[in-house]
Amino acid sequence: MTHPTISRLHEVVAKGDDSQIASLLAEDVQFLPPTYWKTWTGRAPVAAILGHVGQIFGDFRYRRIMGNGDDWALEFQCKIGEFDAVGVDLITLNSDGLIAQFEVVMRPYKSIGVLREAIMARVTSDPRFLHYQSALS
């Protein structure tokens, strides 16, 4: 049986609505993106970045959900512009059932580059991210 947080994530992630995503995240959530080797920490910036990703991804769908208890792997496919991509969301829940760690691995390389460009364009024009400039370097 899928954990309620994972089921809800499945419903909201592709909508790109960071307010719906935020309610699933622990206050000190850590997000490890596929686009660079830096960890985002905190509910507000992680919800915002996941909201942008949800708006960038097209034809997003989870193909398989695997896991039990606090550890989950959600395999997905999507389009990033004209490029196809597949990936896995590796999620760890805390004792309250909220997402404590969210790591994304993806392929192919070209799609990740396109995603990085799209995210950077959004983040650098989103005034909320002025507070998180250190996370962008």
Give CA–CA dist 39/100, Å, rounded.
Answer: 12
Residue 106 has a pLDDT of 97
pLDDT score of 10? 85
Alpha-carbon dihedral of residues 49, 51, 56, 61, nearest 10 degrees?
120
Q: What is the mean pLDDT of the chain?
A: 91
Which strands, in side-by-side order, build the sheet including 83-93? Answer: 40-41, 25-32, 99-107, 83-93, 71-80, 57-68
Q: What is the pLDDT of residue 137?
A: 47
Q: Give the percent of the chain with pLDDT over 90.
A: 75
Place 132 in a pLDDT band, splitting at 50, 70 and 90.
low
Q: What is the pTM of this model?
A: 0.89
Closest CA to 81 of 58, 108, 106: 58
Residue 60 · residue 15 · CB < 8 Å: no
* pLDDT per position as a tens digit, 16-52: 888 899 999 999 999 999 988 889 999 999 999 999 9
* Residue 137: C-alpha distances to residues 36, 53, 110 (Å): 10, 19, 21
Asked whether 27 and 96 are in contact (CB, 8 A), the reply is no
User: What's the rounded mean pLDDT across residues 125-132?
Assistant: 78
Band (pLDDT 50/70/90 cuts) for residue 133 is low
What CATH number does the domain located at 4-124 have?
3.10.450.50
